A and B are shown apart, each in its own frame.
Chain A
Amino acid sequence: MTTTTTGTTAVTGAVGAAHTRLEGLAKVTGAARYAGEIPFAELAHGWLVLSTIARGRIRAVESAPVLAMPGVLAVLHHGNAPRVDGNYTGPLGAPDPVVQVFQHDRVPYAGWPVALVVAETPEQAREAAETLVVRYDQEPHEVAFAAGHPDRYTPENSPQSPAETEKGDLAAELAASAVVVDAQYTTPEEHHHPLEPHAAMARWDGGRLEVVDSNQGSRFVAEELANLFSLDPASVRVRSEHVGGGFGSKALRPHQVLATMAATVLQRPVRVVLTRRQMFSVVGYRSPTAQRIRLGADADGRLRAFDHQGESVTSTVREFIERSADMGRVMYDAAAHHTVNRVVRLDVPTPSWMRAPGEAPGSFALESALDELAEKCGLDPIALRARNEPAAGPVSGLPFSSRKLLACFQEGARRFGWADRDPRPGRRRDGRWLLGTGTAAAHFAARAAPSTASVTAEADGDFIVRIAAADIGTGARTALTLIAADALEVTPERIRMRIADSDFGPAMIAGGSMGTRSWAWAVTAAARELREQLALGGGIPPQGITVRSDTTAAIAALAQKERHAFGAQFAEVAVDVTSGEVRVRRMLGIFAAGRIVNPLTARSQFIGGMTWGLSMALHEEAVRDRASGAPVGADLAGYHVAAHADVPPIEADWVDDPDEDDPVGIKGIGEIGIVGGAAAIANAVWHATGVRHRDLPIRPDRVLLAGGGDRAAG
C-alpha cells in the first residue's frame, strides 16, 4: 500500500504507456458475450414489424392468423400494447417518438414500428412477423431533400447552441473582398451501422426490471425506461458489458422498449434483436446536408467575410438539427461572420447523432471551401489557415484553453512530405492514375459531463472501481483502469474495473467524445480521496473501504473557455478519370487532443475515425426512394462502408496538448478522427484532376461526368 500523502498528481506511469485491451483475450477467443448472447431460461423472441407506407394510418393489424401459428405467443401493436409516457425531458431532451412504440395509429415514415411478434423461437417469430398483414390508410408523402426546400425554417435558438450567429455586414465585406469563394456542397444520408445490431433482453426479476442491452450508457437507458414506464428508477437495472460499436446509434431505441413491453405482458424474458434492414429506419442516421459557403478575403488570404449556411432534414415527429454550420464558430474569424443551421420536416425517420454530428459533414464543406480559397489566392492551404488563426473564439470572444492547430499542420506537413508538393493540379501521374495530395483541418469540442464513481480498497489489497461507463470499442475499460492505477499509485493489475451497470450510479454516456474524460474525472476523484484515506493508516475491514465521487460541482466550476481538440488531416489519392475510380493511397492525421491515456487504443480510435472519413468521402450514401419513402437497397451491399480493400496505410499521431483544467489532462478523441478526413480526400482529388467535387460521395460516375479537366486529358 502507498503511504504517499495528498495533492500531487500521482504517477505510476500507467497512463501514457501502451496497454492491450483488458477484454482482448475474451474478444479474440469468442468468449466476450454481447447483449443478444446471454442465455436465459424460458427466453422468448420478439421480431419487429415496420410500416411499409411512409405516411398514413394503421387501419388494421390482422393478428388472429398469426397467433394461430406454431410457437407464437403474442402480437403487440397500438391496439393492445402497454401505455408509456414520453412526456419528460432526459439528458438528451425529450425522447424520440420512435421509442414510444405502439401508442397510436399514425405512421409518420416508412419503417415506423407497427407490431412486435413474440414466439418461442427466432424462426417462429420471424416467419410470423413476415406473415402478419397490416392494413393502412395511405396518405401522400414527401421524402426528397434538396437545397433551398421551400419548407425549410430556422429553428429557435437555444442558449447552448444557437441555430444562427451573426456579426458585421456580410454584403459589404463580400463586396470589399479581393477574392470570393461561393460554393454549394452536399453530403448524403449516412447510417451508423455498428457491426453488432441493437439487441436487448428484458425480464422481471424479484420486482425489478432487468435489461441486458447493447448501449452507450446503461444508466441513461435505465433512467429513460423508468421514465417511459413510470417506474421507480431504483427498480430498473440495465447492463451492457460488451457493446459491438455504437457511433451514436445506441441510446434509447425501440428494442429496449419492445423487450420491456413484451416481458411485462408475457411475464417471461423476451429478447428483441433488430435486423440489419430495420437498422436503416429505427436507430437514427445522419441527415443529408446541403451547405452554401461564402468566403471573402483580401488578396493575401485574410478573411473579411465568412458565411456558412447549412440545411438538413428532420422528421415530422421530432426536430433534430444536423449542425453542419457550427465549425466556423470555432475555426475562422472575419469582420462579417454568419452561420446558420436550417432544417426541413419531411416524412422520413428522425435523424440523430452520428459520429462527429455537425462537424463531419460541416468540415467537408468548410475545409473544401478553404482549399478553394487557397487556390484562388495562390496560397498554400496550410499557409492560408495560418494566416487566419483567430486569437479568441470568433463568435464567443472567449479565449481558447489551448489551440495547437498549427502545430498539427507543421508536424503533419513534415511527416507527409508536404513541402515537396507542386501546388498545381493534374501534374503527377503514375500510369493510368493521376495523383494528388490534400489537407484539411479538424476540430471537435472538448467537454465533460457530471459522473459518479466508486472505488473500493479490498482487504486483499486489490481495488474495485465501479462506474456506469460503456466500452463500445473505445478502450474505455482499459483506459479507466490505467487512470485508476495512477491515481491510486498501484499497478494496473491491482485494479478490478466494473463498468456498464446502471446500479453503479449516474454517469455520462459514451458520446460527444466525452465518455472517457467524464468517467476518468470521477474515477480519479474517488481514487485520490481513497488514497488519502488509506495514507492515514489503519487496516482495511473485511467489507473494504469505499469512496464515492460526484463531479457535478467540479465540472460546473470550469471557467468559460473555448475548449477543443484540433487536428490536421492529409491524404494522397490516385484517380483514374477513364474508369472514375478514386483510390486513397495513404492518410496521415496529427491531433492535439489532450493527454493520450493509452497510445495503442488511441491510435486505433483516431485511425478508425479517419477510416470513416475515407468511407464518407468515397462510399457511403443511402438513397431514399421517392415512391416508397424507404431507403433503396437497405443492407450492407446496398450501403457500402469501407472494406479492407478500400483502406490504405493510415497513420495517426499526436502533439503534446494536455488539458490544464482536467485532472488527467484528457480532451476526448472519439470523433475528431473523422473531422476533415473527407475534405482532405476531396482536396486531393482536386489536386489530382483539377476538378472540384462538392457532392459526396465522390462516386465513379461523378468522376467520369466531371472528367479530368484539361490537365488530365490524354
Chain B
Amino acid sequence: MAPPTSSAVTLRINGEKHTLPVDHRTTLLDALREQLDLTGTKKGCDQGQCGACTVLLDGRRAVSCLQLAVAAEGREITTIEGVADGERLHPVQQAFLDLDGYQCGYCTPGQICSALAVIEEHAAGWPSAVTADVRPEAGVPALTADEIRERMSGNLCRCGAYVSIVQAVARAAGAAGAPVVPRQGTGPGDAGAPADGEAAA
C-alpha cells in the first residue's frame, strides 16, 4: 500500500489551534493562505528569496514558503494577523503606518514580522555582518541604520520604500528601548548616519 500523501495536522497560529488535513506537499505559506484564509502572509516568490512570507516560528523569523506545513506542527506560529493587540497596533505597525513605510503594501507583512524579530535579535545581543565588534563583552551594538539595513535585507521591497522602512524600524525599536544612537564607520562604504530622521543632504 502506498504511503499516505496527506495527514491531519494541528497548527498553533497566533495562539489558536487549527486542525486541518494537509497534502504533504503543502507549504506552511499555502496552508495559511489557501486553507486557513490567513492571507496576510504574502507569496512573492515561493522560493525563499523575497521575504514576503516571513512569519515567526517560536519567535524566530522564517520564510513560510520553505517550510512544509506538516513540519510546523507543535511550533508557535505568529503571522501578521497576530501582531496587533486587538485594535491596538504594535509599535512597529504604527511606525510603518505613520512614516509611510510601504507603498503597494505587499511586502509589508513580511517586513513587519522581520522587524519584530530584528528588534528581538538585536536586543538579545546577536551581532550582524556589519557589527564592528562581535566580542561578547562588547555588549549590544547600537541599532544604527546600517544594522537595521543589514538585518532587514532578507525582505525585498520593489516599490523602494526602504528609506522609510528603516526609519520605521528605528522608531519602533527606540520606543522599545533599544539604543539607536549613531556610531561611526559601521558599514561598508557608509558613514554610519543616525537611523531615525537621518539626513541625506
A20 at the interface (CB under 8 A from B): yes
Per-position contact with B for A132-146: 1 when CB-CB < 8 Å, else 0? Answer: 000000000000000
A558 at the interface (CB under 8 A from B): no
Given contacts A583-B188, A588-B200, contact A635 B162 (CB under 8 A): no
Determine whether the beta carbon of B80 is less than 8 Å from that of A29: yes
Cβ contacts B10-52/A at 8 Å (1 or 0 each) = 0000000000000101100010011001111111111101101
Interface residues of B in 119-158 (CB under 8 A from A): 130, 145, 148-150, 152-158
Contact between chains at B188 and A28 (CB < 8 Å):
no
A29 to B40, Cβ gap below 8 A?
Answer: yes
Known: A245-B159, A647-B162. A33 touches B105 (CB 8 A): no
The answer to whether A33 touches B39, judged by C-beta atoms less than 8 angstroms apart, is yes
Q: Which residue of chain A has its CB nearest to the CB of B33?
A: A37
B188 near A196: Cβ-Cβ < 8 Å: no
Indicate whether A637 sits within 8 Å of B49 (C-beta atoms), given known contacts A28-B97, A29-B83: yes
Could you tell me which residues of chain A, from 505 to 557, have a CB within 8 Å of some CB in chain B? Answer: none
Q: Which of A37, A576, A588 contacts B189 (CB 8 A)?
A: A576
Q: Are A34 and B106 in contact (CB under 8 A)?
A: yes
B173 adjacent to chain A (CB < 8 Å): no
Choose one: B96, B148, B188, B199; the contact of A651 (CB below 8 Å): B199
Specify the chain A residue showing the minimal Cβ separation from B39: A37
Check if A473 sits within 8 Å of B159, measured CB to CB.
Answer: yes
- Whether the pair A641, B158 counts as a contact (CB closer than 8 A) is yes
Q: What residues of B have a CB within 8 angstroms of the CB of A473 in the complex?
A: 102-105, 159
Within 8 A of A (CB), among B46-77: 46-47, 49-50, 52
B149 touches A644 (CB 8 A): yes
Q: Which of A601-653 contact B (CB under 8 A)?
A: 601, 603-605, 607-612, 615, 635-637, 641-645, 647-651
Nearest neighbor of B164 in chain A, beta-carbon distance:
A604
* With contact pairs A24-B97, A649-B193 given, residues A644 and B148 touching in the complex (Cβ less than 8 Å): yes
Distance in Å from the Cβ of A92 to the closest Cβ of chain B? 22
Of A194, A415, A637, A650, which one neighbours B106 at CB under 8 angstroms? A194
User: Chain B contact residues (Cβ within 8 angstroms of A): what range?
Assistant: 35 or more
B150, A30: Cβ atoms closer than 8 Å:
no
Q: Which residues of A contact B164 (CB under 8 A)?
A: 604, 607
When distances are taken between beta carbons in the complex, the residues of chain B under 8 Å from A197 are: 43-44
Q: Knowing A30-B39, A601-B100, say if A276 contacts B149 (CB, 8 Å).
A: no
* A587 interface residue (CB < 8 Å to B): yes
Residues of B within 8 A of A122 (CB): 30, 34
Contact A247 B100 (CB under 8 A): no
Across the two chains, which residue of chain A brings its CB closest to B148?
A: A644
Interface string of A8-37 (1 = CB under 8 A from B): 000000000000110111111111111011
Distance between Cα atoms of A122 and B46 in the complex (Å)? 13
Q: Complex formed: what's the CA distance from A196 to B53 in Å?
A: 11
How many Å lie between the Cα of A647 and that of B152 in the bound state? 12
Quick check: is B191 within 8 A (CB to CB) of the other chain? yes
Do the beta carbons of A29 and B84 come within 8 Å of each other?
A: yes
A472 interface hit (Cβ, 8 Å): yes
Give A603 to B26 CA distance when docked, in angstroms: 40
**Are A644's CB and B106's CB within 8 A?**
no
Q: Within the complex, which residue of B79, B104, B158 is in contact with A30, where a contact is CB–CB below 8 Å?
A: B79
- Tell yes or no: A127 within 8 A of B by CB: yes
**Are B156's CB and A641's CB within 8 A?**
yes
Q: Are B189 and A574 in contact (CB under 8 A)?
A: yes
Residues of chain B contacted by A581 (CB below 8 angstroms): 188-189
User: Is B176 an interface residue, CB under 8 A from the partner?
Assistant: no
- Which secondary structure characterizes the binding site on chain B? loop
Number of interface residues of A (CB under 8 A): 79
- Identify which of B50, B84, B112, B162 contacts A644 (C-beta below 8 A): B162
Residues of B within 8 A of A62 (CB): none
Q: Mark A403-419, 1 if CB is under 8 A from B, else 0.
A: 00000000000011100
Also in contact, A196 and B163, with CB within 8 A (given A24-B97, A275-B46, A641-B156): no
Tell me which of A247, A574, A649 contacts B145 (CB under 8 A): A649
B83 close to A27 (CB less than 8 A):
no
- CA distance in complex: A247, B158 (Å): 9
Chain B residues closer than 8 Å to A588, beta-carbon distance: 200-201
Among A26, A122, A570, the most chain B Cβ lie within 10 Å of the Cβ of A122
> Given the known A-B contacts A34-B106, A636-B156, are A127 and B44 also in contact in the complex, defined by CB atoms under 8 Å?
no
State whether A194 touches B158 (Cβ < 8 A).
Answer: yes
Residues of A within 8 A of B145 (CB): 649
Considering the chains assembled together, what is the distance between the CA atoms of A23 and B107 in angstroms? 15
Q: Is the CB of A608 within 8 A of B45?
A: no
Residues in chain A near residue B100, CB distance under 8 A = 20-21, 600-601, 603-604
Knowing A197-B44, A641-B158 are in contact, say whether A28-B96 is a contact too (CB < 8 A). yes
Flag if B158 contacts A648 (CB, 8 Å). no
CA distance A645 to B155 in the complex (A): 10
Instruction: Give Cα A244 to B37, complex, Å.
Output: 18
What is the CA–CA distance of A28 and B79 in the complex, to the nearest angstrom? 12
Q: Report the bound CA distance from A195 to B106 in whole Å.
A: 6
A229-261 near B? 1/0 per residue, CB < 8 Å: 000000000000011110100000000000000
Instruction: Tell me the B98-119 residues at the A interface (CB within 8 Å).
Output: 98, 100, 102-109, 112
In Å, the complex CA distance between A650 and B103 comes to 16
Given A193-B158, A643-B156, 4 more A-B residue pairs with CB atoms under 8 Å apart are A28-B112, A276-B47, A636-B50, A644-B149
- The 17 listed contacts between A and B (C-beta, < 8 Å) are A20-B98, A24-B97, A26-B105, A27-B105, A29-B93, A30-B81, A124-B23, A195-B106, A273-B43, A570-B201, A583-B188, A604-B103, A608-B159, A610-B160, A641-B158, A643-B162, A645-B130
Nearest first, the 8 A-B pairs at minimum CB distance are: A30-B40, A583-B189, A473-B104, A611-B160, A244-B106, A27-B105, A608-B160, A473-B103
